[in-house]
Structures are given as structure tokens and as C-alpha cells.
């Protein structure tokens, strides 16, 4: 169950001056939003700046501290935040800070190849339901074993792209050569282990960088190392329990991730209350399988590990077909179940509509809107798209549940002002709302109501065979 915060508990630890600097009218209103985890308590500037509230500050920070701590990698605005989880499963509340995805490069790549790959990672983006889906980090692996090459590669990346860095080497001497150059950009140090933890702890303290702790397959060692770092005053930690990808070992990987997250949230074990790191790129170390098979395997393992609590993942493939399902799944998993993805109701112009253009109507569920918009564009016709308030639910579900009615469609069309703009008044109702057509005609005298295809992908064919005859 989620860690329950009561507004009154938060309010007791606020200045209670109702100064409004947080953007809320009263401290109680602010406390309610903090308790709902809608805002950060650090927006209360008097709490942070006035020495007399120092005691309250520490108490409220402890009160609102999530079971899984948030860790920032990089320096704003070029940074990524991972962690800050308060529930095991997203349906209990929501998951904050989407899983960060890092793509690996090596210090043995020639300069052009290294820069080109780093820039390709930064430029990788595609849009889905109005949101740009991107990659987040670059993981530089030291495969040369040479401090100079590792440092030079980190310098090249930092000068050519703005993404946060993950520096990967178990050798503290090699790590420090890179940190001398890019340490001020707060890269993630990977990794502290049983053998090098003292030196890595010193580097993390010296350069004030987050550090990953690695103990593949040994959760007791992982917890012990994390506790040692916390005792030394370092809490920007990320835990790597190991990623094993073959047969039963994959099941064991999922089991370890689940045990760590359950211990942090359900058992409130602060020693493991840190973000988790997974390495789907481990499939490339396997001898079996073709390149395409490994890309596919990396993709589905990444999706599985994201579902099972990975907050940061290192991947290798940059192929669109391999990354797209992972990024789409991340978008879906990290939507807030309390707030359906929606667009603002209103009228939208597609192309350059005029007085003879048709009017399509739909609901305001984001996926529905962007699919309908795209299919109207594909039909090569100029049209108006009127979006009615379906409370962020699909057309079929909202019509069945009486959340989207003929009255709502009629009101949306009337308020759009199209009645005065159009000479030919033709409105196309979604096929899944066909039952509303007769009622809509009664509510819109002077309009011709047509029923469109059940699936928006049929709009181009419908426009050619049906709609053009009506205009």
C-alpha cells in the first residue's frame, strides 16, 4: 500500500503564515497538495530560507521522503531524475519519474563514430499522442582499459551533446581521469563493488556525483554496501542487483528487483530505498542468436524489467523498431491512472478549412484525438475537428457510459461558432457513436449528420467514397 500522507500532518510542520509564496492561498491548501504528492514541499521558500524553521524543515522532509529516494543525474537543465517511487504498483497511486534509458558507447570507438552515435542518441525522438518520446542518457563504457582514452571520450561526448553521462569502469584511477574533466556535470559513477567501494566512495564524495552500487546476484552485499555509503553521508545511490538474461536466470533477475522494491516500500527498509538499475544490453554478451534476435530480446527484456521496477536501463540497440515498443510501454506505464490522457475540448483546424468544409466530431481521449487527426490529414481534405469532453475516455466507452452524449456533441458544435462560418453544414459522427445520430440531428437543425467509419483508419476511404458526394 502507498505511504499515506495526511494534509494535517504536513500542515503542522509548515510555517503556517499563509504567505502565498508557494502559489497556494493558504498553508493548508499547500499541505493538501503536498500530501497528494502533486507539488514538492520545497516550494515553501520560508521553510528553506528562515533559520527558525530548520527543525520543521528536517521533520517535513523526513515525512514526505518517498520510500524510493529520487536521484538526479546531470546538472539542470541537462539532467534526469530517477526514483521517487511511493507505491509498488502504479494502480495504487501512480509512478513518478519515468524509467531513464541510456544507450552505450565505448572509448575505443573512433572520434567520428563516437560523436555520431552520441548525437543520434540525443536526436532520437518520435511523437505519440502529442508527447515526444526520447532517450535520456549516454553510458560511456571503458573497454580500452586506458585512463587517457576514457577521459578523452568523456570530454568529446560532453562537448558535443547535452545528455547526462553514465561513466562505466570498475577502476577508480580510470574513473577519476574522466571525473577531472566532466565531474562538474554530475555524471553517474558506475560502479562501486566489493573490491573498489572505498575508492569509489571517495570519488563520489570528492566530485559530488551519484554512484551506482553493483553486487550481481548478492542482495545482502548490495544492501551492506548501500548502508556503508549512507553512513558516510552519501545518499545519491542507484542499486544494480545484476541483470541475467537467459532462462531461469531472467526469472531470478525479476525476483531480485521485486524483492528490493518490496523491501523498500512495503517493509520500509531505507537501506535499499534507492532507484534500481537494469542492463538489458547484457543480451549482447551472449554468444547465441543473430543480431536481430538480440535486438528483439533486448527490447522485450527492457519492457519486462521496466514493469518490474527498473528506474534506469542501459541498452545497446539504436534501431527504431527495437526502441519504439520500449518507449511506448514506458509512456503507458507512467501515465497517471488518476488522470486519463486527454486534450482540451474545442475546435481544431486540419489543413485550411473553409465555408464548405466538413466537420468531424470526436471525444477528448488523447489517443483518439491524435489518431483521428492523423487519419483526416491522410485523407488530404481540409476539415474542422470538434472535440467534445468525453472525460478523457474513448468514444465507445464514453458513449456506452453516457459520458459522451448527443447533447455534448451538439453543445460543442454550437460553441465552436461553425454554425456562422459554414454554408454547407455537414457533421461526421464517429461510427462507434452511431446510435446518437438521430438525436443529434434533432439538436442541430440545418445540419446533415453522417455516420463515419467505426475505425478512424477508414476515414481516407470514407472521404473519397462518401463524404465528397455530400459536399
* Residues 351-381: tens digit of each pLDDT: 999 999 999 999 999 999 999 999 999 999 9
Query: pLDDT tens, 286-331?
Result: 878 899 999 999 999 999 999 999 999 999 999 999 999 999 999 9
Residue 346: is it exposed, middle or buried by C-beta count within 10 angstroms (0-12/13-18/19+)? Answer: middle
DSSP-assigned letter for residue 86: -
Residue 468, number of CB atoms within 10 A of its CB: 12
- Return the C-alpha cell found at 470: 455530400
Spell out the domains of the chain, with CATH numbers in brackets: 7-64 (1.10.15.40), 71-333 (3.20.20.20), 346-470 (3.40.50.11600)
- State the cell numbers at 150: 576514457
Local confidence band at 3 (pLDDT 50, 70, 90 cut-offs): low
- Give the pLDDT of residue 289: 87
Name residues whose C-beta falls within 8 Å of residue 11's C-beta, 6 or more positions apart in sequence: 27, 28, 31
The alpha carbon of 47 is separated from its chain's Cα centroid by a whole number of angstroms, namely 30
Alpha helices in 285-421, H assignment, sequence order: 291-307, 320-333, 366-378, 395-400, 406-416, 418-421
C-alpha cell at 83: 526514483
pLDDT digits (tens, 9 = 90+) for 139-170: 999 999 999 999 999 999 999 999 999 999 99
Contact 210, 73 (CB under 8 A): yes
The span from the CA of 174 to the CA of 176, in Å, is 6
pTM: 0.87
Phi-psi region of 351 (alpha: psi -120 to 50; beta: other; left: phi over 0): left
pLDDT digits (tens, 9 = 90+) for 170-196: 999 999 999 999 999 999 999 999 999
Percent above pLDDT 70 for the chain: 99
At 234, the pLDDT band (50, 70, 90 cuts) reads very high
Would you say 369 and 438 are in contact if contact means Cβ atoms under 8 Å apart?
A: no
- In sequence order, the β-bridge partners of residue 343 are none
What is the grid cell recorded at 31? 499541505
Mean pLDDT throughout 424-446? 95
Q: Does 2 have pLDDT greater than 80?
A: no
In the block, which residue shows the cell 514538492? Answer: 40
234 vs 4, more confident: 234
Per-residue pLDDT band at 38 (split at 50, 70, 90): confident
* Statement: residue 272 has pLDDT above 60: yes
- pLDDT in the model for residue 397: 95
Q: Rounded to whole angstroms, how far apart are CA atoms 122 and 137? A: 8
Are residues 83 and 68 in contact, defined by beta-carbon separation less than 8 angstroms? yes
- Rounded Cα distance between 299 and 242, Å, is 17
Q: How far apart are CA 416 and CA 418, in angstroms?
A: 5
pLDDT at 287: 76
pLDDT of 74 higher than 90 = yes
Amino acid at each position: 500500500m502507498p505511504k499515506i500522507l495526511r494534509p494535517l500532518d504536513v500542515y503542522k510542520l509548515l510555517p503556517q503564515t499563509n504567505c502565498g509564496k508557494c502559489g497556494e492561498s493558504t498553508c493548508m491548501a499547500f499541505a493538501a497538495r503536498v500530501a497528494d504528492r502533486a507539488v514538492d514541499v520545497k516550494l515553501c521558500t520560508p521553510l528553506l530560507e528562515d533559520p527558525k524553521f530548520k527543525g520543521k524543515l528536517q521533520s517535513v522532509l523526513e515525512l514526505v521522503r518517498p520510500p524510493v529516494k529520487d536521484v538526479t543525474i546531470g546538472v539542470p537543465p541537462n539532467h534526469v531524475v530517477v526514483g521517487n517511487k511511493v507505491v509498488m504498483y502504479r494502480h495504487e497511486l501512480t509512478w513518478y519519474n519515468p524509467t531513464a534509458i541510456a544507450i552505450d558507447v565505448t572509448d575505443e570507438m573512433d572520434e567520428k563514430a563516437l560523436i555520431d552515435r552520441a548525437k543520434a542518441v540525443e536526436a532520437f525522438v518520435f511523437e505519440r499522442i502529442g508527447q515526444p518520446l526520447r532517450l535520456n542518457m549516454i553510458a560511456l563504457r571503458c573497454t580500452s582499459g586506458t585512463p587517457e582514452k576514457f577521459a578523452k571520450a568523456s570530454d568529446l561526448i560532453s562537448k558535443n551533446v547535452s545528455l547526462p553521462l553514465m561513466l562505466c569502469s570498475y577502476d577508480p584511477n580510470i574513473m577519476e581521469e574522466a571525473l577531472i574533466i566532466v565531474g562538474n556535470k554530475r555524471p553517474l559513477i558506475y560502479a562501486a563493488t566489493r573490491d573498489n567501494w572505498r575508492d569509489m566512495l571517495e570519488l563520489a564524495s570528492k566530485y559530488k556525483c551519484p554512484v551506482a552500487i553493483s553486487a550481481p546476484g548478492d542482495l545482502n552485499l548490495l544492501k551492506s554496501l548501500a548502508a556503508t555509503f549512507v553512513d558516510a553521508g552519501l545518499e545519491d545511490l542507484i542499486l544494480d542487483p545484476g541483470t541475467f538474461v537467459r532462462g531461469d536466470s531472467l526469472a531470478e533477475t525479476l525476483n531480485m528487483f521485486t524483492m528490493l522494491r518490496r523491501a523498500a516500500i512495503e517493509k520500509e527498509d531505507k537501506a535499499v530505498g534507492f532507484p534500481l538499475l537494469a542492463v538489458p544490453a547484457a543480451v549482447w554478451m551472449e554468444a547465441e542468436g543473430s543480431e536481430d534476435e538480440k535486438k528483439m530480446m533486448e527490447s522485450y527484456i527492457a519492457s519486462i524489467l521496466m514493469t518490474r521496477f527498473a528506474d534506469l536501463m542501459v541498452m545497446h540497440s539504436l534501431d527504431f523498431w527495437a526502441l519504439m515498443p520500449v518507449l511506448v510501454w514506458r509512456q503507458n506505464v507512467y501515465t497517471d491512472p488518476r488522470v486519463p490522457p486527454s486534450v482540451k475540448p474545442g475546435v481544431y483546424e486540419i489543413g485550411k478549412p473553409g465555408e464548405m468544409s466538413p466537420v468531424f466530431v470526436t471525444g477528448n481521449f488523447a489517443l483518439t484525438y491524435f489518431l483521428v487527426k492523423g487519419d483526416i490529414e491522410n485523407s488530404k481534405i481540409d476539415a474542422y475537428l470538434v472535440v467534445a469532453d468525453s472525460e478523457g475516455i474513448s468514444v465507445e466507452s464514453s458513449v456506452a457510459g453516457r459520458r459522451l452524449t448527443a447533447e455534448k456533441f451538439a453543445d460543442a458544435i454550437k460553441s465552436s461558432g461553425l454554425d456562422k462560418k459554414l454554408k454547407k453544414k455537414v457533421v461526421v459522427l464517429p461510427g462507434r457513436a452511431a446510435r446518437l445520430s438521430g438525436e443529434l440531428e434533432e439538436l442541430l437543425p440545418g445540419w446533415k449528420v453522417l455516420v463515419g467509419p467505426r475505425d478512424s483508419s477508414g476515414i481516407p476511404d470514407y472521404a473519397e467514397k462518401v463524404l465528397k458526394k455530400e459536399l
